[in-house]
Every structure is written in structure tokens, then in C-alpha cells.
Amino acid sequence: MNTDTRQRDLKRMRFFATALLVLMFAIFVATSFAEAEWPWLAYPRAFAEAGMIGACADWFAVVALFRHPFGIPIPHTAIVPRSKERIGIAIGRFTANNFLSPRVLAERIREVDIAGWISRWLARPGNAQSLAQRTASVLQQAVNSLPREDVNAFLTQAARYGIEAMPAAPLASRLLALVWAHGEMQTLIEHGISYASATLQRHRETIRQKVSQRSSRLIPKWVDGIMADRIVAGLTQALEEMREPSHPWRIELSSAVEKLVADLATNPEMLARGEELKARILENPVVVKQIDAMWGEIEDKLNSVTSSSRLSEMLEQALLTAGERLATDERIGEGINRWLRVALLRTVAPRRTEIAAFIRKVVEDWDAETLVRRIELQVGRDLQYIRINGTLVGGLVGLIIFSVARWLKVPG
């Protein structure tokens, strides 16, 4: 219910309560003049008289809560403005003790499906798109506001620290083991054999010339040609035989690679040589220049992405996918709920005293008129019912007392 609606309801109930008082007064005046002719009118007159008393008493009580009746500074009136500080302290303490205590928070948070609410919110049309656009805009502003030179220097230094902190030899051992296990090295060897065989065939004449140049002048040229062809044929046959995985050279190469993988991971000499090689590489000006250029290219790409609608579309798709996953995967949703509940409990509960102090400060900062208006809008409508009930109940009580007095013939 908004403020305007509350204001209208309060005015309407004030009018009804005041109109009822006016009605009691009218009945009292009318019956007072006609009682001599119709004695039975003494009963409605007694009802109206007691109703006026009850209405006036309750009007005074209601008004005295918020202001001085008729502007007269009667003691113990205008209670709310004079007790603003106590009200702020009471609201803060009540909130901290009854809403923010660990036990209450744990019980209430356990009933809240935060992940489900996030999923449903993201599924509503336009929400994911709006959030993605705002996030992309913030990222673009953040990227544009950062000084490029300082960022590049920081990232370059961070990259150097990261590389320096990572042992080179064990990393090379893991990479070599991974490449060897997946067969990429075997494929490379096969390509190397094919390339060597093709190269021998292409350069057969060159090999003949080299053999002829280095042989004795007494040996005929046709003999040199035969020797060169046999050399090429022998090498080609040896290369073809190496295509078989069981070839001794392949087995020897496999053993050498496996030994190298183990040495790189455990041999202290290899570890030291790896660190030495890494240090020389990092000190090379060409490498430093390439790292700087790399971060510049990354920033240019990031600027081009954030300045276009592509980033917004990517974020929107990611949000929609995350929302669908939360809605379909109960395990993920429960895990997120558990994490958020613990985070909220650990964040709010230890600071409930600070929250209470904040509430007290906010209430104290309100001026008296604002405090009165806000409280009156919340409870003023019900207080007008008190006036109405006071009028009717007071009238009934007065009527009963008058009737009993008449029945007992008590002079009044």
C-alpha cells in the first residue's frame, strides 16, 4: 500500500470518527429538548452523552500521541515527537534482537530459496538483457578509465612473477609427457621420416656429385654413381624400417624420451639448468618487448569487445544459461543457497549491533514532523477505529449504567 492510499484511508477514517462524535452530539441535543414530552428519550440521551465522553477521551488520547491537543502544551502529550530518541533506540534494539539474531536468521534464511529467486528473475523477459547491458557498460567504463601504461607494466610484472614462480623443468616434463602420451610426438616422427625420405630422393644428384668429388680419381664415375645410389637406397630403407613401432631405433627413442621426462621432473641438475635457461629467456629484451606487445594486443581486443554489443550479448547468454542451470540442477541450486545463506549469516549476524545503531541514527535524523507523519500513516487508520469504538462502547457503558441506576432508583 503506497503513501497516497494510506493518506486517503486515514482521512476517511478521521471523517467517520468525527462524524460519529457529531452524531452523538446531535442526538444528545435533540433528546435533551424532547425528554420532557417523551421520557423514554432519556435512554438514547444517556447513550449519546456517554458516547460523546468516550469519543472525546479517545480523541484526546490519539491526538496526544502525536501532538499537543489544540496546541496546548499539556504534560504527557506529543509523546512521539518528545520520545524520538527512545523510539529510535527501541526500534533498533527490537530489530537486532528479534530479526537479526543468529537463531532467527538461520531459521528464516533456511526457508528462502535464493537460487530459485535468481533463476526466476533471470527468466523474466528483459531482465537478463538489462543486467548484461549494464554490466557491459560498467566494464567498458572500467577499461577506459584505467591508465594503459600502468596496467601494461603491472600485467607484465605479474606475468614475470608468475613465470619465475613456476619451475621450468617440471613444467617441461609434464608438457613433454602429455605430448608423448597423446601420440603427437609419434606423428611428428612419422612426418620427419617422410620428409627425410623425400629429401633424399630430391637430392639424389647432389649426393652423387658429393660422392664423386670425394672419391679417388682412379675410380670411374659410373662406380661413384652406383655407390651414391646404394647410399641413398640404404638410407631410404633404414628410414622405411623406422616406421615400424618395434624398430630398435624407435624403442631407443621412446626410452630416451621417457628418461628425459623423468629427469626433467626429478634430476637436480636438470632442474637447475631449466631455471638458468628460464632466467636467460626472461632477461632477453626481445622477450620483454613481446610480453608488452601481447598485453597491448589483449587490451585492444578487450576495448573492441566492450565497445560493441557482442559483450552484452555474450553476458546475456551466459546469464540465461546460468538461470536455466539453476532451475534444472537441484544440486547446484542447493549448493548456491547453502553458500549464500552462510555468507549472509556471517555478514549480518555479527553486525546486528551496528545495524541497530544505524536504524537509531536514521530515526534520530528525522525531524519530528516527518517521524509523526510516518508513524501516523502506519497506525493512524487503526487509531481512528479506537475513536469509533470508544464512542460506541462508551455509549453502551453509559446506557447500561443509566439503566441500572433507573432500575435501582438511584438518584442521578
Per-residue model confidence (pLDDT) at position 412? 47
pLDDT in tens, 117-150: 888 888 888 888 888 888 877 777 776 676 666 6
**First vs last Cα of the chain: how many Å apart?**
50
Residue 249 resides in a domain: yes
For residue 199, give every residue at least 6 positions away whose Cβ sits within 8 Å of its Cβ, in sequence order, or none.
Answer: none
Per-residue model confidence (pLDDT) at position 93? 81
Tell me which residues of the chain have a pLDDT lower than 70: 1-2, 36, 143-144, 146-157, 159-165, 168, 176, 179-186, 207-208, 211, 213-225, 228, 250, 264, 282, 287-288, 290-309, 410-412
Which residue is associated with the grid cell 491537543? 69
Q: pTM for this structure? A: 0.44
pLDDT in tens, 146-178: 666 666 666 666 766 666 667 767 777 777 677
Question: What cell does 397 get?
Answer: 457503558
Residue that is last in its domain, among 258, 283, 308: 283
Residue that is last in its domain, among 283, 314, 348: 283
Question: What cell does 174 get?
Answer: 609434464
Torsion sign, CA atoms 207, 210, 216, 218: positive
Residue that is last in its domain, among 266, 283, 300: 283
Q: How far apart are CA 159 and CA 287, in angstroms?
A: 12
Range of the domain at 398: 3-82+366-407
Q: How far apart are CA 373 and CA 255, in angstroms?
A: 89
Residue 231 resides in a domain: yes
> What is the C-alpha radius of gyration for the chain, rounded to an integer number of angstroms?
47
Residue 397 resides in a domain: yes
Per-residue model confidence (pLDDT) at position 33? 83
| Number of domains comprising the chain | 2
Per-residue model confidence (pLDDT) at position 360? 80
- In three-state secondary structure terms, 125 is coil
Torsion sign, CA atoms 370, 374, 380, 381: positive
Q: How far apart are CA 72 and CA 153, in angstroms?
A: 73
Residue 103 resides in a domain: no
Measured over all CA atoms, what is the biggest interatomic distance in the chain, rounded to whole angstroms?
Answer: 170
Q: How far apart are CA 327 and CA 123, in angstroms?
A: 9
Per-residue model confidence (pLDDT) at position 301? 64
Per-residue model confidence (pLDDT) at position 13? 86
Residue 18 resides in a domain: yes
Residues 269, 376, single domain; the answer is: no
Residue 328 resides in a domain: no
Per-residue model confidence (pLDDT) at position 203? 72
- In angstroms, the Cα distances linking 169 to 174, 255, 264, 301, 355 are 9, 18, 5, 33, 55
Residue 95 resides in a domain: no
Residues 277, 375, single domain; the answer is: no
Per-residue model confidence (pLDDT) at position 152? 65
Residue 31 resides in a domain: yes
Per-residue model confidence (pLDDT) at position 230? 76
